[in-house]
Amino acid sequence: MVPLDPVDASQLAATGKTATTTGFTIPLGTCGKNAKPYITLTDSANLGNRTSDLTLAPSSTAKGVGIRLTKGDGSALQLGAQNTSVSANNVGQFLVGTSPADNTPMSIKLNAAYVRTAEKIEAGSVKADAIFTVAYP
């Protein structure tokens, strides 16, 4: 779970505008030397979603907002399908890095932010879930 601070609607002045970016880390455990884990994030509320914005869970009461995910460096992250194999055809799949030695702990740094997704927004609770799938070549 990644808690985001509350946001005022005025901070999301236009569709696509983001606010309250929060960094987080997903630990992947220890890897062997030269391991190359790839990760894909999937929108659990809309498995076909190939944007960077998670759909709100049905339990959310807010309207017109979503959660945008980006890589730790702020670059775009595309959501994709759950893939347990590595392929250039896997939309949204990206290399986490290469393990330099045996038993090296690896993790992925990401960011989450509120994003305005519609012209009209309504205050309320916001919850969105992503599924992360790790694959090794």
Query: For residues 37 and 132, is the Cβ–Cβ distance under 8 A?
Result: no
- Supply the pLDDT for residue 71: 97
DSSP H helices in 1-137:
none
Closest CA relative to residue 117, chosen from 71, 56, 59, 66: 66
- Supply the pLDDT for residue 94: 95
- Phi then psi for residue 62, to 5 deg, are -70, 155
Residue whose entry in the numeric block shows the structure tokens 């509120």: 114
- Supply the pLDDT for residue 1: 87
Query: How do residues 45-96 score in pLDDT, each as one tens digit?
Result: 999 999 999 999 999 999 999 999 999 999 999 999 998 999 999 999 999 9
Query: How do residues 6-50 score in pLDDT, each as one tens digit?
Result: 999 999 999 999 999 999 999 999 999 999 999 999 999 999 999
Query: How do residues 85-129 score in pLDDT, each as one tens digit?
Result: 999 999 999 999 999 999 999 999 999 999 999 999 999 999 999
| CB within 8 Å of 8: residues ≥ 6 apart | none
- Supply the pLDDT for residue 58: 96
- Phi then psi for residue 10, to 5 deg, are -65, -20
Query: For residues 60 and 126, is the Cβ–Cβ distance under 8 A?
Result: yes
Q: Which amino acid is at 17?
A: K
Going along the chain from its start, the domains and CATH numbers come out as: 9-135 (2.60.40.1090)
pTM: 0.92
- Supply the pLDDT for residue 45: 96
- Supply the pLDDT for residue 32: 94
Beta partners for 131?
Answer: 42
